[in-house]
Structure 1
Amino acid sequence: MKLRGAHALLFATLVFGASAVAAGQRAVGPGSPIYGVKLPDGYRDWKLISVAQENGKNNDIRAILGNPAAVEAFRKGTRPFPDGAVIVRLAWRYQSSPRNDAVFPAPQSFVAGAPTNVQVSVKDSKRYAASGGWGYGQFEAGLPNPDPAIARACFTCHQKLGKLEGGADFVFTAWSE
């Protein structure tokens, strides 16, 4: 009987979590390892900062969104970013669109395919002092990736920007006009 109850609880948790993700709300659960970053409520309604494409292993297209504090800092060129700035990067597989290409004289249309992950960067200079003032999280299907190596890899990569002239406060993205 206890096992049946545990299965029912697990099923309810999965259904509720999937429903919350489908509705665009934050999934219930822990934050990312190391930093404790959570998927922000309402982030899909934030302003677009830029778009990007990664070739090679990632083979994805990305939309970079920001909360009001991040957007204001991007627009004004404020660096370092103020505490409370949050940047969210959504990624999808980069794929051709046979449907769209059927309209054009040659294959040329590419679109977002299956989602890969959502990455979140949160600026808090005191809480995340050891990582340049930023906390990181990667989410798949609305849930934080539990692998601490993934969270560590975020700062390892962003840290390389700090070695470049005008390090951009560890942020890859620039404001797109």
Structure 2
Amino acid sequence: MPETHRYTALVAKNMEKAAAGMSKVMQVEIQAEPEKELPQVNNSYGLFSKQFLARHGLHLLGTASTWFFLDIAFYSQNLFQKDIFSAIGWIPPAKTMNALEEVFKIARAQTLIALCSTVPGYWFTVAFIDKIGRFTIQLMGFFFMTVFMFALAIPFVDTPCLVV
């Protein structure tokens, strides 16, 4: 599969080939501009160097820690869904069902959550990502995830703790 003309121009740095390809596609004569000499910037520092830490360390720490805490909350919810769903009354206690019935009811509750939140959220993002912006969409997603996790957690508070 051939590379796109944009890739050819920006990454492969072959302006003549990119201009010729775009001329064919757009049916317009395009001439490649002569390459300008750009000043050389020395950004060659290692991943674990002091320069990297000074330049990107705070951003890396902030991003990694927020995703770490999100993953703990989100994926641990998947581990304990049967207990959460039983505690808030979405499914009966596990002792009253056989294994297949329990799996079916948990899957049904997960499907309901996906159909009411995840799928509409994805389509909202597809429709509005260029109008609202990626940062705002992500903040909205985190906000609604927080709201729905609190909505699941608040009824769970009144139940006795699961002690191992």
Is TM more than 0.5 here? no
Q: Which has the larger radius of gyration?
A: 2
TM-score in terms of structure 2 length? 0.23
- Structure with bigger strand share is 1
- Structure with bigger helix share is 2
Bigger RCO (CA 8 Å, 6+ sep): 1
TM-score in terms of structure 1 length? 0.21
